Amino acid sequence: MNRLTEFMLPPAKSTTAESTDALFHFINVTSIILLLGITVAIIYFSWKYRRRSDDDVTPVIAHNSKLEITWSVIPLILVMIVFGWGFTGYINLITPPDDAYEIRVVGKSWLWEFHYETGHVSVNELHVPVNRPVKLIMSSDDVLHSFYIPDYRVKMDVLPNRYTSLWFEATEISESVIYCTEYCGTAHSNMLATAHVHSQEDFETWLESAGSADDDMDPAELGEQLVTRNACNTCHSSDGTRLIGPTFQGLWMAERTMQDGEVVVADENYIRESILEPNARINEGYDPVMPSYAGSLNDRQIDAIIEYIKTLQ
């Protein structure tokens, strides 16, 4: 069964994954047995009762109580097993343990933000402790998204103006992929994140130091890192290529034409405004799809990004 599991499903790395898989295999194996049994019976009967001569008369059979009870009761039992099993699993999946560690998740087109109790915000990188229940409280800043970690067998829609939640307990120190599984526009397929599972001590160390390691970095270097960490590079290239947004190359002090015809020089204030209030001015020829980074990037980080953009001449 283990081999079969590995062949058909991603590795099971949460406390609930195994029971979800067990139910999946039960339904699968039962269906295969029924499929084979029914197919064999159809072939056998059509051979056995084939028309042999012109005198063959089809017998008239009105009903057979024993047979009818059997074919009603067996499926009923199977369906009740699946219902009971599935329902207990579902209750377990929607009821987070009381001591669960909480993390806020915000879905934006097209990235995931993770907000920790310390105020630290990471983009597309979820950090969690091993062997401890984690509860995610999720909402969207724009359209419908859906949060999915196949290795943990958990998935939940993420909606604007409403919280949804999901919990899991990771059982292995490893990394797993997080997907958005609700088609949400142009860069939907880039809406990927990684779940990093740490030991309890490593997690605490990470949480304490998260963000503060940036303090002694060269601003332009920090800016370059922030552009990757905040997924700006999903939409902005640094080499002149046009992606969903304009390239950062040659942006510094360039003249940009807005949709309303206004011409703006890309100085500190313009870049800062573009990051905090992306919809205040929209570049001509582009769509207003950039998410606001107000609340997730502080002044020092914005300055660092500006320093980095200055280096891309």
- Crossing angle of the two packed helices 65-94 and 17-48, in degrees rounded to 10: 160
Does residue 287 belong to the site contacting ligand HEC (CB under 6 A)? yes
Does residue 198 belong to the site contacting ligand HEC (CB under 6 A)? no
Structure token digits, residue 95: 């009821």
Shortest Å, Cβ 142 to Cu ion: 9
Smallest CA-to-CA distance from 15 within 119, 112, 151 is with 151
Phi first, then psi: give them for residue 265, nearest 5 degrees. Answer: -90, 130
Does residue 106 belong to the site contacting ligand HEC (CB under 6 A)? no
Among 136, 154, 180, 312, binds Cu ion (CB under 5 A): 180
* Binding positions for ligand HEC, 219-248, rule CB under 6 A: 230-232, 234-236, 244-246
Please choose, out of 35-43, 113-121, 203-211, 285-293, the segment that lies near ligand HEC by the rule CB under 6 A. Answer: 285-293
Please choose, out of 125-133, 143-151, 192-200, 272-280, the segment that lies near Cu ion by the rule CB under 5 A. Answer: 143-151
Instruction: Choose between 180 and 244: whose C-beta lies nearer to ligand HEC.
Output: 244
Among 282, 303, 307, 311, binds ligand HEC (CB under 6 A): 282
Instruction: Choose between 82 and 187: whose C-beta lies nearer to ligand HEC.
Output: 187
Among 96, 133, 150, 278, binds ligand HEC (CB under 6 A): 278
The set of long-range contacts for 89-96, using a CB threshold of 8 Å and a minimum separation of 24, is: 89/16, 89/19, 89/20, 89/23, 92/16, 92/19, 93/16, 93/154, 93/167, 96/133, 96/135, 96/165, 96/167
Site string for ligand HEC, 251-270 (x = CB under 6 A): x----x---------x----
Among 13, 145, 153, 236, binds Cu ion (CB under 5 A): 145
Helix ranges, the chain (H): 2-8, 17-48, 65-94, 200-209, 219-229, 268-276, 299-311
Does residue 184 belong to the site contacting Cu ion (CB under 5 A)? yes
Name 99's Cβ contacts closer than 8 Å, sequence gap at least 6: 132, 133
Taking the C-alpha atoms of residue 287 and residue 272, their distance in angstroms, rounded to an integer, is 19
184 binds, among ligand HEC, Cu ion, none (CB under 5 to 8 A by kind): Cu ion
Contact 167, 237 (CB under 8 A): no
Provide the sign of the torsion angle of the four alpha carbons 83, 154, 183, 296, taken in this order.
Answer: positive
Taking the C-alpha atoms of residue 117 and residue 2, their distance in angstroms, rounded to an integer, is 38
Please choose, out of 17-25, 86-94, 163-171, 279-287, the segment that lies near ligand HEC by the rule CB under 6 A. Answer: 279-287
Binding site for ligand HEC (CB under 6 A): 109-111, 187, 230-232, 234-236, 244-246, 251, 256, 266, 271, 274-275, 278, 282-283, 286-290, 293, 305
